[in-house]
Amino acid sequence: MIKAIISAVTGYVPEEVLSNQDLERIMDTSNEWITTRTGIKERRIMPSDKAVTYIGTRIVQDLLKKSNTNPEEIDMVICATCSGDFIMPDSANSICYQSGLTEAFGFDLNAACSGFLFALHTASQFIRSGTYQKVIVIGAEKMSAYMNYEDRTTSILFGDGGGGVILEASTDSIYGIVDAVLKGDGSGYRYLNIRGGGSLHPLTEESFAAKEHYLYQDGKRIFKRAIRGMYEAIDEVMKRNQLENDDVDWIVPHQANDRILSSVAEHLNYPYEKVMNNIAKFGNTSAGTIPLCLWEYEDQLKKGDGLMLTAFGGGFTWGALFLRWAY
């Protein structure tokens, strides 16, 4: 049986740091509030002339170098993003072009903060079916482009950056992606969205004046849903695969709020120190958070480790995916 294994991981964040202290200077907030309510201390901001294609290209170039892979070996690129360079065309095709992936095609996948999870599961199906051998899955965002820095409840959360993995075919039955549960509830669209600029609300003077081009979030309403969505999805994957807590060496959660992460761990009776966490440094990079965590924890991972990825985001979309680390 063919399985999809992760054979390389990397991450990219821009250099510019936007700290809580910087935010204190431009809005009515405090480092103390942001740190205690979210765990975030700083986030990274892309320069105005670079966006998701740039992040994705840097990620592909690094993955190829790190894994000694020729560009021609890559069959497909999926870029999970909700902040692509343009509404059309997608960013994945530009990333293929700019990285010299002459044999690959690509497409963007928009499942907001759950994007990387959805893209990884999608890519693994192409590999399991024998259709493709090597696929790059990216989660990359320039969320700062959609922040209203007059809205202190939301703009303090998000940052820019992302990461990616090479997913490849393996006939070794132990390692690789084992199972995933993906969920959606479209009624959630009203609580987390960027309305302006889409085909229902094209950019007009009115939509601009109404600030519809910014990300809107009803954070309080989403908070509890996110916790429940993540632990229920993890529970479903665990039950279906007869997994106990000891089989999961790491939970790799979407980084939205430190209090969400501790609450998910608590509901599962799972040790919090085994929950990957880099929210203090990068904030919420939407589809970027999970690969950024894998990248930062790569040195601590051992071959055979059980990793439970989980996310919740706009849509609503959410889910969990269990894999065994392959190197």
Q: Which residues are catalytic?
A: 113, 254, 284
Segment holding 136, helix H or strand E: strand 134-142
Contact 140, 55 (CB under 8 A): yes
Least spacing, CB of residue 285 vs ligand UT7, in Å:
10
Shorter beta-carbon distance to ligand UT7: residue 101 or 321: 321
Shorter beta-carbon distance to ligand UT7: residue 152 or 201: 152
183 touching ligand UT7, by CB under 6 A? no
Least spacing, CB of residue 156 vs ligand UT7, in Å:
5
Query: How far is it, in rounded angstroms, from Cα 4 to Cα 175?
Result: 8
219 touching ligand UT7, by CB under 6 A? yes
Query: How far is it, in rounded angstroms, from Cα 192 to Cα 4?
Result: 32
50-82 as b/e: b if 16+ CB within 10 A: ebbbbbbbbbbbbbbeebebeeeebbbbbbbbb
Query: How far is it, in rounded angstroms, from Cα 74 to Cα 57?
Result: 14
313 touching ligand UT7, by CB under 6 A? yes
**What's at 315, amino acid-wise?**
G
Shorter beta-carbon distance to ligand UT7: residue 223 or 327: 223
Query: How far is it, in rounded angstroms, from Cα 35 to Cα 308?
Result: 26
156 touching ligand UT7, by CB under 6 A? yes
128 touching ligand UT7, by CB under 6 A? no
153 touching ligand UT7, by CB under 6 A? yes
284 touching ligand UT7, by CB under 6 A? yes
When binding is defined by CB under 6 A, the residue of 143, 256, 261, 279 that contacts ligand UT7 is: 256
When binding is defined by CB under 6 A, the residue of 5, 137, 177, 222 that contacts ligand UT7 is: 222
113 touching ligand UT7, by CB under 6 A? yes
Of the candidates 62, 19, 9, the residue with the CA atom closest to the CA atom of residue 282: 19
Shorter beta-carbon distance to ligand UT7: residue 106 or 253: 253
Of the candidates 16, 12, 67, 41, the residue with the CA atom closest to the CA atom of residue 295: 12
Contacts with 138 (C-beta within 8 Å, 6 or more apart), sequence order: 56, 59, 60, 77, 78, 79, 80, 81, 92, 95, 119, 162, 163, 164, 291
Contact 120, 181 (CB under 8 A): no
Q: Residues binding ligand UT7: what is the number (CB under 6 A)?
A: 20
CA-based radius of gyration for the chain: 19
**Within positions 12 to 71, which residues make up the interface with ligand UT7, using CB under 6 A?**
29, 33-34, 37-38
| DSSP secondary structure letter of residue 274 | G
257 touching ligand UT7, by CB under 6 A? yes
Least spacing, CB of residue 83 vs ligand UT7, in Å:
13
Shorter beta-carbon distance to ligand UT7: residue 40 or 178: 40
148 touching ligand UT7, by CB under 6 A? no
Q: Where along the sequence are the contacts to ligand UT7 (CB under 6 A)?
A: 29, 33-34, 37-38, 113, 152-153, 156, 219-220, 222-223, 226, 256-257, 260, 284, 312-313
